[in-house]
Structure formats: C-alpha cells, structure tokens
C-alpha cells in the first residue's frame, strides 16, 4: 500500500491548481488575454487581479486553459455546488474563447431557470455577476484561493480515507486522477448533456427554478443533497378536490334550486303559496276590490273623507252639524226636515241598567246600538234623531257604562249599549259590561235589531266577532254599520264594506247591506234611517 504522503503528492501533482475562483476573476483573466485590461469596469480589486495575472504567467497557461483547470477543480470540489456550476460554465465558455475573439458569457440565472439564460458580453461594463460571484469578488482573490485550496485538501483527505478503508489506495488515486484529467472535457460534455436535459425540461441539477427551490428547501430543512433529492422526487401530493354530491342538501340553501322532493319550479310554487298568507293585513286590505254597488253607494252618499270645498260646491251648508244629512241648498237643520217620520219624534231617556234585572219591561220594539268603546254609538243616536246632546258622548272611551233606554216617540225604543273592548275601566268592570251586553242581545225579547257599529278605519276585531257569534247563536238580527267614515278615503270605506260583507257572507242573522255612516259629516245617516224605519214600520207593539 502506498503511503499517505505519496498519495498526497500524486494527487497534488495531477491536480491542477485553480487560478480563479470567481467568475469575475475569470473574466479578468480573459480580459488579460484579450488586452481589455484598461476597461474601467475592472478598476476595483487590482491587487487580486495582479495576482491572477501573476499566477497565469507563472503557470504559463492561457486564460482558456485556466478556466478549464478551474473547471476541473470545481468538479473535484463537491462541497460547493455553486462553484461547480461556474466551473461548468467556465468550461463551456472556454470553447467559445478558444474559437474566437468574440467573447460572450452565457450566464444562467439560477433563480429564474433556463428561460432566463442570456448572452452577456464580457467586454462591456455591465459587470453582472451571479449572486455567488458578487460575494466572492468582494472577498478578494486571496481568500477565495485559500478557501479553494483548503477544500481541495479536504477532498484529498476524503479520497485517502476512502482508499484506506477499502484497501485500494491506488485505485482511489487513479479515480482521483481520472477525475481530474477528464474534468475539462468532461465538464464541457456534461454541460452539453445538461443543456440538452434542460431543454427537455428534466434537468433538476444545474440551472432551473426548481433546483433553486430545491436548494432553498434543503437549506430550510437542513437535509443534504441526496435527501433533498429524495424529498424533491417524492410524489407530489394530489390536490384535494372536493366533490359535490348533488343529492346532498345538508349545506344547501332553499334557494339553491336543489330539492329533495321536486324541481325548482315546484319550490317556487311552494314559496308563492307561502307568500300569500304572509301578506300583511294592510296589503290584503288594499287588494280588496269593492263591488260596483258599494262603490256607487259610497259616491252617492259622499262617504269617506271629502274636502269641505267640494261639499260646499255640492250645495251643503258646512256650518251646520252633519251637513250631509241636510237637503242641499237648505238652510234648515230642523228635525222636521227628516224624511223618516219616526225619527222626527222626540228622543227621551227613560231607563239605565247595569244588570239584566234592571232592564225595563220590553213594551216597545227596540233597536240597540252595540260596538266597541268609542266607536260612536252615542253619537249615532244623536245624528239619527238630530237631537244633539240628548245622548252623552265623549272622546274618552268607556263613557257609556250602562244600558241606556231611549223612547223615540211612543212607539219605538232606541238602546245605547256600553262599549266593549278598549275602555278606561277596570278589567272586571269591562267584563261585567260585556256580559251585560251579551245577555241583552241574546235574551232581550223586544229587540228587533242590533246595529253593530264597526270603526271603518280599524274594521272588525275579535270581540266584534265574538258578539256576532253570540247573535248568530241567539238568532238576533244584526246589521253592520260602519262609523267614522269621514276619516278614511272613499275607496277604503268601500273596501271595508266589501271586506265585512264577504266575511259575513254565510252568516244567517246578519242583515244586509252593510251601512256606512258618519255622525260628524252626516253622510249615510239618511240611508240608515230608512233601513231602521222599515223595522219599526212592520214591528208590532208587544
Ligand atoms: N270623526 C268622527 N268622529 C266621531 C264620529 N262619531 C263619533 N265621533 C267621535 O267619537 C268619540 C266617541 O263618540 P261616542 O259616541 O261617545 O262613542 P261611544 O261608542 O258611545 O263610546 P262609549 O260610550 O265609550 O262606548 C267622540 O269624540 C265623537 O265626537 C264620526 O262619525 N266621525
Ligand atoms: Mg257611548
């Protein structure tokens, strides 16, 4: 076995010393050869440049050869991959340098991959470097050279160690020699091969974006080349593709159009059917189409909110109470002018009852006025008889707290009932009023008709319906009278009348038509009188 020293000598003898270790120095060497020394781009680092020149002269080599030698050393120096790359480049360029004076440097930008490979003239003052060149140039030629030698020595040590281990030191030496001898042409050849691979897009080692990324990953993970290679060669994870099951509606909204039971059209139909009952009461009311009969009645009686100027133009004296209850262009508001004789009679209060036992004997046919508190019952009695102030009224709900009996002449009786529902009274008191009213309308013998007053603006309320149900059960004749028509538009008066007519269409005890009045304006009062007079006309004395 050859000794360690002899092997070292052998290696040193065969290994050519590196002249340059940076591409910049390499360029300088070329410049030296091509007499481009005076180029301003190389004004920096003259000392190292001088060393380079000196070394080049000492070796007696041309710059191209220097590059070639550099390539060899690079190949040996597997510790720094980046240097190996320059060595290859150097080797590659060396061919060009030998071929002619036109010098170009094929610079491969590691970061950007093969697409960014471009020719850069060396002689220009572009001074471009790879990121590695830049650092090396800054370090100065001496340090670089020294580090290269150190690496070379380390390499020799490694070769020796391998040879020792295998007991084939000579072979190891040969390997080393072959490696160094073939390095120049080998590097060029390899470079060509790599270029071919690069063009195929398969090269991962030399200058591709993926190699850069790989290096970065390796640096991050602390893996060596092989591990990094393995890491890189590992099959890439497939991207997770979320497959949507069209039958899965767990995350679907109703309006996505995917349903279990039916198609989109069916869903829309269901939605529409759902929408209908969800219409607001106001919207439902606005959708009512009154019958022509009702509309004509409203117009004929000037029901609804009207402008005073219009009433004036129509010949009504707006200075009188309930002017529309008067004959147009008549200054008289006397009750003698009332068309129905029965209502010309004097209205006299004769009894009040808080309980049913206090009811007066049913000697006369009675017409009662029922309804919620403040609906205008008492006011309507005054308006019908044109005797203002006989029946007490108030804007405060719950004024009438007893059943008040009024004689209208000697043959008829009008009954003012206490209101139910909203009233400024205790609950138990209101309940007692309600019970009294219910008892009266359901049991009163002489009761000919109940005028159920409904506020035109608000319509029927549950308690109204309760009373209706009671009168239906007791077969008490009742007639709906819409009050305070002067506070709503004429069309709404008609709508309300239509609405109530429709809602009570199947009721048997209801007397049609729905009457519409305004005690304030007098509209519709005459018509109501006529309707009530017909009752009294055929009513027999009990
Ligand atoms: N605008 C307008 N107001 C009216 C009409 N009728 C009555 N009013 C007013 O409504 C308020 C209540 O009238 P009342 O006649 O006391 O009502 P009520 O139904 O007897 O009330 P209770 O006795 O509490 O049950 C009063 O302020 C009246 O001026 C009407 O036709 N139009
Ligand atoms: Mg009253």
| Domain boundaries of the chain, sorted by first residue | 4-203, 208-236, 288-538
Backbone angles phi, psi at 229, to 5 degrees: -65, -45
Residues 224-240, mean pLDDT to the nearest whole number: 56
Q: Which atom of ligand 1 is nearest to the CA of 423?
A: 24
The residue nearest atom 8 of ligand 1, judged by CA position, is 376
Check residues 347 and 177 and name the one with the higher pLDDT.
Answer: 347
CATH of domain 288-538: 3.40.50.300
**Cα–Cα dist 442/428, whole Å:** 21
487 ligand 1 Cβ < 6 A: yes
% of the chain surpassing 90 pLDDT: 30
Average pLDDT value for the chain = 69
Q: Which atom of ligand 1 is nearest to the CA of 371?
A: 19
Going by C-alpha positions, the residue among 163, 32, 27 that lies closest to residue 90 is 27
Q: Which atom of ligand 1 is nearest to the CA of 393?
A: 16
Band (235; pLDDT cuts 50, 70, 90): low
403 CA to centre of ligand 2 in angstroms? 10
3-state class (DSSP) for residue 152 = helix
pLDDT of residue 542: 55
Say how many C-beta atoms besides its own lie within 10 A of residue 428's C-beta: 8
520 ligand 1 Cβ < 6 A: yes
Check residues 518 and 9 and name the one with the higher pLDDT.
Answer: 518
CA 395 to chain centre: 50
3-state class (DSSP) for residue 243 = coil
Residues 350-375, mean pLDDT to the nearest whole number: 92
484 ligand 1 Cβ < 6 A: yes
451 ligand 1 Cβ < 6 A: no
* pTM > 0.90: no
Q: Is the pLDDT confidence value at 425 over 80?
A: no
ipTM of the complex: 0.99
Mutate which of 322, 379, 463 to test ligand 1's pocket (most atoms within 8 Å of Cβ)? Answer: 379
**Looking at the CA of 420, which ligand is closest?**
1
Q: Is the pLDDT confidence value at 202 over 50?
A: no
Neighbours of ion ligand 2 (CB under 5 A): 377-378, 400
399 ligand 1 Cβ < 6 A: yes
Beta bridge partners of 413: 366, 407
**Cα–Cα dist 208/111, whole Å:** 7
For residues 35 and 65, is the Cβ–Cβ distance under 8 A?
no
Going by C-alpha positions, the residue among 187, 195, 207, 192 that lies closest to residue 72 is 187
The residue nearest atom 7 of ligand 1, judged by CA position, is 376
301 ligand 1 Cβ < 6 A: no
421 ligand 1 Cβ < 6 A: no
pLDDT of residue 495: 96
375 ligand 1 Cβ < 6 A: yes
């Amino acid at each position: 076995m050859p000794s360690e020293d002899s092997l070292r000598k052998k290696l040193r003898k065969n290994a050519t010393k590196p002249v340059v270790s940076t591409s910049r120095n390499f360029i300088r060497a070329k410049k030296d050869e091509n007499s481009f020394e005076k180029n301003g781009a190389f004004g920096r680092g003259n000392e190292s440049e001088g060393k380079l020149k000196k070394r080049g002269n000492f070796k007696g080599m041309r710059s191209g050869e220097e590059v070639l030698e550099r390539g060899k050393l690079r190949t040996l120096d597997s510790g720094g991959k980046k240097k190996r790359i320059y060595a290859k480049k150097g080797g590659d360029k060396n061919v060009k340098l030998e071929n002619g004076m036109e010098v170009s440097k094929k610079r491969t930008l590691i970061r950007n991959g093969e697409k960014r490979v471009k020719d850069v003239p060396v002689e220009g003052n572009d001074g471009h470097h790879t990121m590695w060149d830049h650092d090396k140039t800054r370090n100065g030629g001496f340090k670089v050279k020294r580090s290269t030698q150190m690496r070379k020595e380390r390499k020799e040590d490694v070769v020796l160690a391998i040879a020792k281990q295998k007991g084939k030191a000579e072979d190891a030496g040969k390997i080393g020699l072959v490696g160094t001898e073939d390095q120049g042409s080998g590097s060029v050849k390899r470079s060509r091969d790599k270029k071919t691979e690069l063009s195929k897009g398969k090269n991962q080692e030399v200058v591709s974006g993926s190699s850069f990324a790989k290096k970065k990953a390796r640096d991050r993970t602390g893996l060596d080349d092989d591990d990094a290679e393995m890491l890189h060669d590992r099959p890439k994870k497939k991207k997770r593709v979320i497959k949507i099951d069209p039958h899965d509606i767990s995350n679907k909204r109703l309006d996505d159009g995917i349903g279990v039971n039916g198609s989109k059209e069916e869903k829309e139909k269901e939605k529409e059917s759902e929408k209908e009952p969800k219409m607001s009461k106001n919207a439902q009311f606005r959708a009512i189409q009154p019958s022509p009969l009702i509309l004509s009645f409203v117009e004929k009686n000037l029901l609804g909110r009207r402008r005073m100027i219009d009433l004036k133009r129509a010949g009504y004296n707006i200075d009188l109470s309930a002017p529309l209850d008067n004959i147009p262009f008549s200054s008289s508001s006397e009750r003698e002018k009332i068309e129905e004789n029965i209502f010309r009679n004097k209205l006299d209060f004769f009894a009040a009852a808080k309980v049913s036992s206090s009811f007066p004997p049913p000697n006369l046919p009675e017409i009662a006025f029922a309804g919620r508190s403040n609906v205008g019952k008492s006011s309507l009695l005054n308006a019908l008889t044109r005797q203002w102030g006989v029946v007490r009224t108030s804007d405060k709900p719950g004024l009438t707290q007893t059943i008040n009996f009024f004689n209208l002449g000697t043959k008829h009786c009008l009954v003012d009932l206490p209101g139910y529902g909203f009233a400024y009274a205790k609950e138990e008191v209101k309940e007692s009023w309600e019970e009294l009213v219910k008892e009266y309308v359901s049991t009163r013998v002489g009761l000919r008709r109940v005028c159920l007053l409904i506020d035109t603006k608000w319509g029927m309320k549950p308690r109204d319906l309760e009373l209706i149900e009671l009168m239906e059960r007791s077969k008490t004749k009742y007639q709906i009278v819409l009050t305070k028509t002067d506070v709503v538009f004429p069309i709404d008066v008609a709508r309300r009348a239509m609405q109530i007519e429709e809602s009570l269409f199947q009721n048997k005890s209801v007397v049609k038509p729905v009457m519409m009045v305004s005690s304030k304006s007098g509209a519709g009062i005459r018509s109501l009188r006529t309707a009530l007079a017909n009752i009294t006309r055929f009513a027999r004395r009990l």
